[in-house]
């Protein structure tokens, strides 16, 4: 079953001679529980793609379906609610809320939604990521690898349909990178989480179930699952 699907997705910036075609007709399908890596060089359009998938930005044309629901036409606040319920983000720069402690950061999107936190589930996630002893720390007291683990926990806490990771190891040394990627993979399998990861690093991409290569806003390899 496809949880994520795009149809002829386009994103253009500017007009005329200076027009930039960041995405130029992307058709992509992601299956429930799949770990997909999107690979491309700097400027290939991979980050723009992630923004579209996560509802952070709106496409110029084309559609994005999450759980068979078209999100490209949603209003700002509706998109926001969609994000916190359906999408978990893991960014290169962690993007944790500095004024909240580790636990508060993890449950923040759930609480924003006004929902009861599924404590048992969150505790399992925390255990898997090895954060039990750090729950009351402020994020500034953590190392980069630990911060990224918090970010992963936060992304998982709301049981999102898709976890989107944008260069999750970009700011980490190689040892931490290994840890984080391993955990990403493990949690994905353990919790049956669909993951879309963006990276420029071929080696990292090898961890994924499937690799899609993107160049100049087009998929050059691996668009259809059976290709």
* DSSP symbol at 209: S
Point out which span in 2-10, 22-30, 90-98, 123-131 binds other proteins (CB under 8 A).
Answer: 90-98
Q: Cβ neighbours of residue 184 under 8 Å, at least 6 residues apart?
A: 90, 152, 165, 168, 195, 197
Half-sphere exposure of 144 (CA within 13 A, CB side): 15
* Identity of the residue, 29 or 104, whose beta carbon is nearer to other proteins in the bound complex: 104
Residue from 22, 44, 62, 89 in contact with other proteins (CB under 8 A): 89
Contacts with other proteins in 46-65 (CB under 8 A)?
51, 56-57
Please report, for residues 26, 130, 157, 218, 225, the alpha-carbon distance to residue 8 in angstroms, rounded to integers and kept in the order given: 5, 41, 32, 10, 17
When asked if residue 203 is in the footprint of other proteins (CB under 8 A), the reply is: no
- 101: its two tokens: 């402690």
Of the candidates 16, 81, 9, 20, which has an alpha carbon nearest to the alpha carbon of residue 51?
9
CA 30 to chain centre: 13
When asked if residue 114 is in the footprint of other proteins (CB under 8 A), the reply is: yes
Supply the minimum distance, in Å, between the C-beta of residue 63 and other proteins. 19
For residue 98, count CB atoms less than 10 angstroms from its CB and return exposed for 0-12, middle for 13-18, buried for 19 or more: exposed
Supply the minimum distance, in Å, between the C-beta of residue 47 and other proteins. 9
Supply the minimum distance, in Å, between the C-beta of residue 224 and other proteins. 29
When asked if residue 76 is in the footprint of other proteins (CB under 8 A), the reply is: yes
Supply the minimum distance, in Å, between the C-beta of residue 226 and other proteins. 33
Could you list the residues that contact other proteins (CB under 8 A)?
Answer: 51, 56-57, 76-77, 80-81, 83-85, 89, 91, 95, 97-100, 104, 108-109, 111-116, 154, 158
């Amino acid at each position: 079953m496809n949880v994520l699907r795009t149809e002829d997705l386009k994103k253009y910036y500017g007009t005329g001679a200076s027009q930039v075609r960041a995405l130029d007709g992307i058709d992509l399908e992601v299956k429930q529980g799949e770990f997909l890596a999107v690979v491309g060089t700097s400027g290939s359009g991979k980050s723009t793609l992630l923004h579209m998938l996560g509802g952070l930005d709106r496409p110029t044309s084309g559609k994005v379906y999450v759980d068979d629901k078209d999100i490209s036409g949603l209003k700002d606040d509706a998109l926001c609610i969609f994000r916190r319920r359906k999408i978990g983000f893991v960014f290169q720069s962690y993007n944790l809320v500095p004024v909240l402690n580790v636990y508060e950061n993890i449950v923040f999107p759930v609480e924003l939604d006004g929902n009861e936190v599924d404590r048992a589930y969150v505790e399992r996630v925390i255990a898997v990521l090895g954060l039990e002893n750090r729950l009351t720390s402020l994020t500034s007291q953590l190392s980069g690898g630990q911060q990224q683990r918090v970010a992963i926990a936060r992304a998982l806490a709301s049981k999102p349909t898709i976890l989107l990771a944008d260069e999750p190891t970009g700011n980490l040394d190689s040892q931490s990178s290994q840890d984080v990627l391993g955990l990403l993979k493990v949690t994905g399998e353990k919790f049956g989480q669909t993951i879309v990861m963006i990276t420029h690093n071929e080696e990292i991409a090898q961890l994924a179930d499937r690799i899609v290569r993107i160049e100049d806003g087009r998929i050059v390899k691996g668009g259809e699952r059976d290709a």
